Amino acid sequence: MSSMSAEEEDEARERRLAEIEFVRSAYGEDEAWAVDEKLTIYRRLLVSSSDGNVIHVLLSLTMPDGYPIDEEAVLVIDARISDDAVGASSSSCTAKNMRKMVMDSLPSLIEACRLSALEYAGSESIFAVLSRADEWISVDFVDIVESSNHINTDDANEVETTPKCDNGLVLGRRLIHSHHIIAQSKRKAVVELADQYNLGGYSKIGWPGVIVIEGEESDCMAYVDEIRSMRWQHLAVRGEEQLAVRDQDELEQARVLPNKMQELGDDMSCIAERCKDAGLEELFLTSMKIYSKKESVSSDASNQKDSTESSSYSYGVLCHVDHMRDGKGYRKWLRKASAAAGCKLLVKASDSNVKRPLIIVSILGEESDVKRVLKRWRTSRVDVDSAGKPCLERMMTVLTEGKLSLPQHTTVDMDSLDQEDQLIVSDQTLCDILQVIGGTVWLNEIESLMHLR
């Protein structure tokens, strides 16, 4: 660990105590607490199953000397099943299986939290890690349970669910969803492994990451196993297809994706369109956890697109931010927080007052996801103060929040709107954009704000 001056040590100590106070104010006594002398924060996580069994997991975050200033002083994270876990003493087979599944999954929780802590090294990371832990409970563990149930169902009904021919040759497809694909090493491995296993498809980088592969079923299985062995913040197979074929020639003819893995940019609509053109729209929709039977899929492509966008943007919040001292860093934080929650972000500033631009932020998504971003926004150090030190946002105002008029979204290309080179727009353009997204309610709010300037 690098040496620190006395002044830096005092600052680090003060910021550690501030994070402890934040935890005490943000959570109930039964949800989270801190032991000052150990500089350790404890968070109780509840892992529940559909049949009512609940397991209490105790997550501990210890702040080492130098945290949060020193980038090498990363939170020490651990987790265990709490002795007071509800259902832990139950003798039922279901409760025991649940406890075992949670126990086996704890390394995944710890690793996810550690990766989040590393991502925020050199700054306060307590809330980011606690948010990642909540996300692991609501998303990652659900995927683990679903995968386990899927495997068990396949084992029990192997003859009925797995297509087979006399030669056992099967064309397989997988859709793999990741929290993000950014690191060059991961991007290279995704492509090179596909080539190694004679698989083709697409790899969409950024937040989130999506991989679609196609090839011989045994190769798909081997590819997934090898990819899973790498370190990921979150990775899960959300969709799969199998098609029995007579021989290798028929397998090659049945392929609808490129024979070589193609890397795509950070644009979900690009991979969506390519999957749609290949007739794999239903498989792609599993990336957003939209599952439907083939016979229920509409033949009208525009209706399908509308329903997909409606699922993504059913709820929205419109906010006014007084100022952004570190505009680039602030917007980067908003983009990452929104992407991590599966939400769409739009940041725009009016050009009518260049000395004090009117900064508007809108977040779209499912209601629970939008509220999660708002909570994290209010309690994270997203900007810097006049001295250049990280600070909380105290001058953000929620103008309006609620369910959106979904059919209007089909006229908005959110990806094209949310570009850094289009950050500054005219008053009229800003009003037009917000009206299309949120209707007259959003338009009235922005016009009232403009009138007050």
Q: Are 343 and 288 in contact (CB under 8 A)?
A: no
- pLDDT at residue 290 in the model: 60
Instruction: Please state the CATH superfamily assignment of the domain spanning residues 6-153 in this structure.
Output: Ubiquitin Conjugating Enzyme (3.10.110.10)
Q: Sign of the CA dihedral 315, 140, 294, 285?
A: positive
Q: What is the DSSP string of 161-172?
A: HS---TT--EEE
Parallel, antiparallel, or unpaired: how do β-strands 54-62 and 76-81 relate?
Answer: antiparallel
Token pair 């020639």 in the structure block, residue: 249
Common-topology check for domains 6-153 and 313-452? no
Instruction: Give dist(CA 184, CA 111) in Å, integer.
Output: 20
Give me the pLDDT at residue 305, please: 38
CATH architecture, domain 162-297: 2-Layer Sandwich (3.30)
DSSP string for residues in 368-415? HHHHHHHHHHHTSEEEE-TTS-EEE--SEEEEEEEE--GGGGGG--HH
For residue 319, give the H/E element and its range: strand 315-321
Divide the 453 residues of the chain into consecutive groups of 10 and give the mean pLDDT of each group. Answer: 76 88 84 88 84 84 91 90 56 69 88 84 86 82 69 46 60 89 89 93 89 93 86 80 89 93 87 90 76 40 38 80 87 84 86 72 89 84 82 87 63 54 75 83 88 70
Q: What is the pLDDT of residue 96?
A: 75
Q: Does domain 313-452 have CATH number 3.40.50.261?
A: no
Query: What are φ and ψ of residue 204, in 5° steps?
Result: -95, 115
Domain ranges within the chain, ordered by starting residue: 6-153, 162-297, 313-452
Measure the CA–CA gap between 138 and 142, rounded to whole angstroms: 6
Inter-residue contact 223 to 176 (CB < 8 Å): no
Whole-number pLDDT of residue 156: 46
- Which of 274, 145, 105 is CA-nearest to residue 200? 274
Other CB atoms within 10 Å distance of the CB of residue 417 = 18
- 3: alpha, beta or left, given left = phi > 0 and alpha = psi -120 to 50? beta
What is this structure's pTM? 0.43
